[in-house]
Amino acid sequence: MEAEPLAGRHILLLEDEMMILLMIEEMLIDLGGASVTSAATVDQALTKIDRQVFDVAVLDVNLNGTKSYPVAERLAARGIPFVFSTGYSDHAPGDAYADRPVLKKPFRYSQLASALSRLLSKHLDHDRHFITKERKKPCHRLLRLPSRDEAWSQD
């Protein structure tokens, strides 16, 4: 595992418990995060997603009784990878999020690092596959510039 798996990354942290937010925020910075933007409600998170660019997100599932699924939906639509966190042992994301990683609170630094490293690695592999696949189909043609002689010749 890399020493700083989040090096240079911009992270959205959605958490409604201030002490937990501060602890996770510190972990994300220690993992190399360039910036951590925090939100405590779904509305705050959606606003921040619309105004900023994020590389990855950590989402508390239950925000004082409100599920964070609208945030997950917006992130998924933008292709931003995310991990859920929950303090409930019986949490199971809905079918739409069954493939998303879930960290059970309290989690350790190493568990957060491992989950985010795997998530970003998987996301990077997906992007590489997409780019490689798309390169087989040229999206533009190269323009041939006239040589110096052609440019100045007059008929």
Report the Cα 18 to chain-centroid distance in Å.
22
pTM of full prediction above 0.85: no
* Domains within the chain, CATH numbers bracketed: 10-138 (3.40.50.2300)
CB 22 within 8 A of CB 9: no
Q: What is the pLDDT of residues 91-108, one digit of tens each?
A: 556 667 888 999 999 999
Mean pLDDT of 140-144: 41
Task: Give me the chain's average pLDDT, please.
Answer: 82
